[in-house]
Copies of this chain bind each other. A is one copy, B any other.
Amino acid sequence: MTNNSNNAQVAGKTSIKTYRDAINDAIREEMRRDPTVIVLGEEVSGGAGCDGEDDAYGGVFGVTKGLMPEFGRERVIDTPISEAAIIGAAAGAANNGLRPIAELMFFDFIGVSFDQIFNQAAKFRYMFGGKSKTPMVIRGTVGGGWRAGAQHSSMLHSIVTHIAGLKVVMPSNAYDAKGLMVQAIRDDDPVIFLEHKVMYDNECEVPDEQYAIPFGEAAFPRQGKDVTIVAISNMVTHAIAAADILAEEGISCDVIDPRTVSPMDDEAILESVEVTGRLVVVDEGNPRCGLASDIAGIVAEKGFHSLRAPIRTVTAPHTPVPFAPELEDAYLPNVDKVLAAVREVLGA
C-alpha cells in the first residue's frame, strides 16, 4: 500500500491505479453485476447526436470513459444541461427499481439542482414513513487547485452534510474511492460522492476485485499520540505530509481520515483525542458552519475532558475561491498551514 491508502487490507491481486480509474472500475463492475445500475449526466459519454466519435469524453474528467461502449446509451445516458432534471430523473428512477449514478460535472452545480437533492431525494424515506427507498449516487467534483474560479472550485460538502437523509462520501485515495463507490452504489440511500479534482491522477495500490468499504468507518493513514489531525478528501494528502515531517522532529501525529462525513466516525476521533488531548481539523471548505467547526463542536461537547489545548481548525478563509494562482494557493490549506496549526496546539 502506498502513502494515501487505508488501514484495511484486502487479499487477492492488486494493481497500481489512479483515483479516476478506481472509480471507473467500481462503476463498471457494479454495472456488470447489476443491470439496474445506470449512469446519467452531461457528457458522461459525450458525442450524443454528433458526427464524430462516441464516448468522446467519458465524463469531462474521463471518469466514466468506456462505460457507454460497453453498456450502451440506454444505461449510460447523456443528458441536456438540466441538472434539476438529471437529479430528479435519478431520484424518481431510484424509487422505481433502478440504481442511478447521476453526475454533476462540478458539484458547484448543486445550485440549480438543490431542491431535487435536499427536498426530494433526501426526504422521501422519512416523509413517506419509511415506505420508499432511494438508492442513488450523485457524483460531483469538488475543490480548488485548477484555477477554475469562484463557480467551479467550491467544496460544498458541509452543505450536504447538514441535510438529514443524505450520506456524504469523500475519498482521499484510489483505494478508498473504489471501495466507497461500490458501497455507494449498493447502498439503499441517496449518497453524495465527492471527488476532488486534483486527485484524479493520484495512484495507489488497489485490489482488482470488488470490495465495499462500509460508511462511517474512518481510516488511519498515520498513527501517533501527540496530536490528532482530522483531515478529509485532498486535505488528507497534506495531513500525511505534515505528519511525516513532524515525525522526523519526534512529534507523532494521529491522522484520521473520516472518509465519509455523513455518517461520520465520531468515535474514532473522540478515542484519538482521548489519547492525544490535542486536535487539529483540516478542511478545504469555508469556515462558517463548515465541517471543521462541526468536528470541533462535537469534540467540545463529547470529548471536552480529553482536551488539553484549544482546538485548531485549518480551513479556507470566508471568501469565494479566487482565480489567480497566487490567490488560490493562499486560499487553500496546505502543508505549512497544517504544520503551523499542529505546532500551535502543541506549543500552547
Contact = CB atoms under 8 A, between A and B. Distances in A.
Interface in A108-151: 108-112, 114-119, 122-123, 126-127, 149-151
A297 interface: yes
Interface in A64-112: 84, 108-112
Interface stretch (A219-227, A236-244, A305-313): A305-313
B163 A286 contact: yes
A126 B114 contact: no
Interface in A320-342: 320, 322-323
Q: In the complex this chain forms, how many copies of it are found?
A: 2
A165 interface: yes
A298 interface: yes
A170 interface: no
A311 B300 contact: yes
Residue picked from A111, A286, A290, A295, most chain B C-beta under 10 Å: A111
Interface in A169-209: none
Nearest to A126: B320
Given A294-B297, A302-B310, A289 B149 contact: no
Contacts of A165: 320
Interface residues of A, number: 59
A110 B322 CA distance: 25
Residue picked from A161, A164, A305, A319, most chain B C-beta under 10 Å: A164
Interface of A: 84, 108-112, 114-119, 122-123, 126-127, 149-151, 158-159, 161-165, 262, 264, 285-286, 288-302, 304-305, 307, 309-313, 317-320, 322-323
27 contacts: A84-B112, A110-B114, A111-B116, A111-B117, A112-B114, A119-B151, A122-B320, A123-B150, A123-B320, A127-B320, A158-B162, A158-B289, A159-B159, A159-B162, A162-B289, A164-B318, A262-B288, A264-B288, A289-B294, A290-B294, A293-B296, A296-B300, A299-B300, A300-B307, A300-B311, A301-B313, A304-B309
